[in-house]
Structure 1
Amino acid sequence: MKLGRITTTAIAGLFAATALVACGSDSDGTSTTTQDGDGATIRIGTTDAAKEAWTVFEEKAAEEGITLDVVNFSDYSTPNDALAQDQLDVNLFQHLKFLAAYNVGSGEDLTPVGSSEIVPLALFWKDHDSIDGIEGEQVAIPNDESNQGRAINVLVQADLVTLKTPGMITPTPADIDEEASKVSVLPVDAAQAPTAYHEGTPAIINNSFLDRAGIDPNLAVFEDDPNSEEAEPYINVFVTKAEDADDENIARLVELWHDADVQAAVDRDSKGTSVAVNRPADELQAILDRLEAADE
């Protein structure tokens, strides 16, 4: 989500959605994009409305005759519920792994219709510019369900950790072959990973915590490969209800997100860490199907 991640149990707070989206919903709760004499109005949910990219995105949509009714959420548990309850037409805030957990946990069939970008997850080690000499160190990793597995796979890609069963999508510390690994892991609350870093412990830090901790994202000593199969679950996506997957206006929004001006704003927002991903809907659905099967 640019997602500083969320567990499936966070879905329990879902009914707060009504209050959050009331200003952006039609009174009758219809879910299809609205057409009028001036063009289409699309209700889109996000957790990042304050970012520059969203301002540029709205401007580009307006040039195409599409009015964006942007609904901002303060948490990650409600945008999908708002979509499922017909209070939104589309949302853009989550990656495929989170969507899979939501669909499996809720019984919904929300559908990815386009991709936006992926933010690599990175390893930081104070006063070091590479992983040379890291053998034997303990690495702090986020302990939440969504980030922990990805963090371990970052260490797998860095050839620092070996799994008992190679290729796991969401490994846990128990899945690590400690004898064959070069480092050990220390699960901590994601918000505490920067503290560990500042104290000299190598740490995998979520992108959303870097700014708050005053850590330059370009100081990473290793990050996962956004083009690898292991990174596919973390592609951020535009999501609709299944029956709206062929909406032409929403398809146009996906295209507009990849406009050069929008992408330049995304780059500024992320300080150069975001990597644009433009995968077709059928490929995204195939990845989602695989993730949902693993979560069932």
Structure 2
Amino acid sequence: MAEPSLSNGTPEPSADEPQLPSRGPGRSRVAWIASTALALVVALVVGLVLANSGSSGGGSKTVSIGVTDASQPYWKTYTELAKKQLGITVKIVNFSDYSQPNPALKQGQLDLNEFQHIQYLANYNATAHDDLQPIGATAVYPLPLYSLKYAKPAALPDAAKVAIPNDAINEARGLLVLQAAGLLTLKDGGTAFSTTADIETHKVAVTTLDASQTATALLNGSVAAAIVNNNYATSAKLSSSQAIFQDDPASPSAAPYVNIFVARKADADNPTYLKLAALYHDPSIEKGVQAANGGTAVFRDVPAAQLQSELATVEQQAKAAQQ
């Protein structure tokens, strides 16, 4: 009996035309082998994907942190503890220019940075229209008032010359220190962005100099006292006994000067980053920090939410100062 034609009316192909393979025993075996091999390949690929996924989200994650003092030995201690205690590989990225770590973080070249205090970050965010956020506190470094002749602020003669740094970051803090020392008063109590124009009353004559020159002016007798940043005081070999006053690290006026770990806003609650910020307070790391800073660090452990609230306040001050 003749075979029926295909449903479209086309005749069945003749024996001389190419045919589909028959569905005999050989065909079934080939199909089984092929399907088994495919299943093995799929399983292998899935396993590799899962393994890589666990690696990137787990202990072998690499976190890059931007700093400006990578040569300090405590960062080596920090990276070793991060690996040992947290299973996290930390890559320390050094910057020689303070203006670089925040843009690098914003652009995703870093995961975190640690080099600045809240006031510096607030000024950056307000200027760059950014929203980087603090996620952990490290320490406050008190800003001392030094004198080679007088033992306390009250001993300074009326109209004595006192030098303070003239940059936007340190001028306001220097003025707040002099206010706390009873040597002047500032409009509305002062802010983290006050300038000499905000001085309302004064016992001493304030002169502004480059931060690198205040110690020199003190040493050569040009001024009776001077606000000197820690690094310049160390270079000038000023001793702690020559510091006649410094701001109180626990006071509200010192809150903007708490140094911080900083993340992008989207990562402010990242548990890995929060653990790394907390790791800074391991005793072995704090010991190294003190050794690197002549014992001047006052460590602060402030909740991230409180740091972020302080940042918002100081940002408002920064924006007001820009108007």
Letter in 2 for 1:216: S
User: Which residue does 1:181 correspond to in 2?
Assistant: 202
Say whether 1:71 aligns with 2:98: no
Counterpart amino acid of residue 61 in structure 2: A
Question: 1:283, CA displacement in angstroms?
Answer: 0.5
Counterpart position of 1:49: 70
Q: Which residues in structure 2 correspond to 1:1-296 (within 5 Å)?
A: 35=56, 39-64=60-85, 65-136=87-158, 137-177=160-200, 180-200=201-221, 201=223, 202-296=225-319
Return 5+ residue gaps in structure 2 as ranges.
1-54
Structure 2: distance between partners of 1:132 and 1:113: 39
Hey, which bits of structure 1, 4+ residues long, moved more than 6 A? none
Q: For the structure 1 residues 218 and 53, does the alpha-carbon distance in structure 2 shift closer, same or farther, using more than 3 Å as the test?
A: farther
Deviates more, 1:51-60 or 1:149-158: 51-60
For 1:93 and 1:207, locate their aligned partners in 2 and report how far apart those are by CA, in whole Å.
Answer: 15
Counterpart amino acid of residue 123 in structure 1: L
Deviation at residue 165 of structure 1 after TM alignment:
2.7
Give TM-score, length-normalised by structure 1. Answer: 0.84
How far is 1:262 from its partner? 0.7
Per chain length, whose mean CA-contact separation is higher, i.e. which structure has more relative contact order (CA < 8 Å, sep 6+)?
A: 1
Please report how far the alpha carbon of residue 216 of structure 1 lies from its aligned counterpart in structure 2 after TM superposition. Answer: 2.3
1:140-169 Cα distance to aligned partner (Å, 9 max, x none): 000001100000000000011112332433
Question: What are structure 1's unaligned runs of at least 5 residues?
Answer: 1-33
Q: Which has the larger radius of gyration?
A: 2
Q: Aligned-pair distance for 1:244?
A: 1.0
Q: Quote the Cα distance in structure 1 between the aligned partners of 2:317 and 2:194.
A: 12
Question: How many Å separate the matches in 1 of 2:126 and 2:80?
Answer: 35
In 1, distance between residues paired with 2:59 and 2:112?
20
Q: CA 1:226 to 1:139, structure 2 compared with 1: closer, same or farther past 3 Å?
A: same
* Cα distance change, pair 164–292 in 1 and its aligned pair in 2 (3 A): closer
Distance in 2 of aligned mates of 1:270 and 1:235: 15
**Equivalent pairs, count:** 261
Name the SS of the counterpart of 1:42 in structure 2.
strand
- 1:107-166 CA-to-partner distances (Å, cap 9, x unmatched) read 111011011001011100014433342132110000001100000000000011112332
Q: RMSD of aligned C-alpha atoms?
A: 1.5
Cα distance in 2 between the residues matched to 1:247 and 1:38:
14
Deviation of 1:67 after TM superposition, in Å, equals 1.1
Percent of pairs with identical residues? 41
Please give the TM-score of this superposition, normalised by the length of structure 2.
0.78
Q: Which residue of structure 2 lines up, in the alignment, with residue 5 of structure 1? A: none
Distance 1:51 1:143 in 2: 28
Q: Write the letter of the residue equivalent to 1:193.
A: T
Deviations 1:207-259 (A, max 9, x none): 12122222224531100011111111111110000111121111111111001
